């Protein structure tokens, strides 16, 4: 079966750095996506990795290791507005997204 | 440029009633998707479309039907609603299969 695992909830302090991990087992791999979802709102695109390595975009970075079936999202200089759920999704061999249940990130002052 | 819009935002149905959820996108995207989101679970694909006039089943299609008569619109129908269909429904669109999907604001459906 296909499976995406990520922690249910994490807590971090404003101004700090947090790493959200995602491991996956899917039938095929055509890229890994990270989305941000604020409570009651739509998921919004953050990053995309298809090759191994680190992709940096401002305060957010995403890393991929295809051989380990592993990715992480790194958030630096945390702000209160970063309190949200972070969704990991893998595009399988049929180009369909398989989604993790999301990691709820709580930022404390 | 409104992106992806969904109608209605919230609806309460009684078991056995029918309804249609409307999704519209103004980005000229070929691909459109309907997902449901339930607590503690990842988004699950209900149906999708790869272009005007086409539809295909996703992971959880039972109890739902869809139509894509116009490129910009994707309709999701519930013929006989059941309490198990209480969920938040998201529509998304994308320019191609492997490209980023852009989501609408969601429809919250409660079936009593």
Average of per-residue pLDDT across B3-24: 97
B94 inside 8 A of chain A by CB = no
Residue B57 has pLDDT above 80, yes or no: yes
Residues of chain A with pLDDT > 90, as a percent, come to 96
A52 inside 8 A of chain B by CB = no
Q: Which residues of B touch A98 (CB under 8 A)?
A: 42
B45 inside 8 A of chain A by CB = yes
A83 inside 8 A of chain B by CB = no
| Cα→Cα distances A48→A1, A36, A91, B3, B32, Å | 23, 12, 10, 20, 19
Mutate to test the interface with B, among A41, A42, A88 (most CBs of B within 10 A): A42
B60 inside 8 A of chain A by CB = no
pLDDT-derived band of residue A55, with 50, 70 and 90 as boundaries?
Answer: very high
* Angular region, A75: left φ>0, alpha ψ -120 to 50, beta rest: beta
Q: Answer whether B48's CB lies under 8 Å from B67's CB.
A: no
pLDDT-derived band of residue B9, with 50, 70 and 90 as boundaries?
Answer: very high
Beta strands in chain B (DSSP E): 4-7, 10-13, 19-25, 31-37, 44-49, 56-57, 64-67, 73-78, 87-94, 102-103, 107-111
Q: How far apart are CA B87 and CA A104, in angstroms?
A: 19
Average of per-residue pLDDT across B79-108: 96
Q: Which residues contact A40 (CB under 8 A, 6 or more apart)?
A: none
pLDDT for A1:
75
pLDDT-derived band of residue B2, with 50, 70 and 90 as boundaries?
Answer: confident
* Angular region, B55: left φ>0, alpha ψ -120 to 50, beta rest: beta
| Lateral strand order in the sheet of B64-67 | B4-7, B19-25, B73-78, B64-67
Which residue of A lies nearest to B39 if distances are taken between CA atoms?
A101
What pLDDT, in 10s, does the model give residues A34-54?
999 999 999 999 999 999 999
Q: Answer whether B74's CB lies under 8 Å from B50's CB.
A: no
Average of per-residue pLDDT across B15-36: 97
pLDDT for B29:
97
* CB atoms near residue A108 (< 10 Å): 11
Mutate to test the interface with B, among A22, A26, A29, A43 (most CBs of B within 10 A): A43
pLDDT for B96:
93
pLDDT-derived band of residue B93, with 50, 70 and 90 as boundaries?
Answer: very high
Nearest to A101 among B4, B42, B48 (CB): B42
What pLDDT, in 10s, does the model give residues A59-94?
999 999 999 999 999 999 999 999 999 999 999 999
Residue B47 burial (CB < 10 Å; 0-12/13-18/19+)?
buried
Average of per-residue pLDDT across B25-47: 96
């Amino acid at each position: 079966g296909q499976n995406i695992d990520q922690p249910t909830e994490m807590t971090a302090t404003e101004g700090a750095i947090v790493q959200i991990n995602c491991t996956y087992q899917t039938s095929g791999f055509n890229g890994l996506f990270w989305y941000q979802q604020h409570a009651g709102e739509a998921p919004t695109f953050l990053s995309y990795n298809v090759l191994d390595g680190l992709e940096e975009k401002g305060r957010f970075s995403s890393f991929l290791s295809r051989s380990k079936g592993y990715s992480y999202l790194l958030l630096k200089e945390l702000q209160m507005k970063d309190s949200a759920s972070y969704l990991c999704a893998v595009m399988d061999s049929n180009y369909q997204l398989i989604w993790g249940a999301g990691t709820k990130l709580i930022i404390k002052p | 440029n409104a992106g992806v819009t969904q109608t209605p935002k919230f609806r309460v149905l009684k078991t056995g009633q029918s309804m249609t959820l409307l999704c519209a996108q103004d980005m000229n995207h070929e691909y459109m998707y309907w997902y449901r989101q339930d607590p503690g679970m990842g988004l699950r694909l209900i149906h999708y479309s790869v272009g005007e006039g086409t539809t295909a089943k996703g992971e959880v299609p039972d109890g739902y039907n869809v139509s894509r008569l116009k490129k910009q619109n994707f309709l999701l129908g519930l013929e006989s609603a059941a309490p198990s269909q209480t969920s938040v429904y998201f529509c998304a669109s994308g320019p191609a299969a492997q490209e980023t999907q852009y989501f609408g604001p969601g429809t919250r459906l409660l079936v009593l």
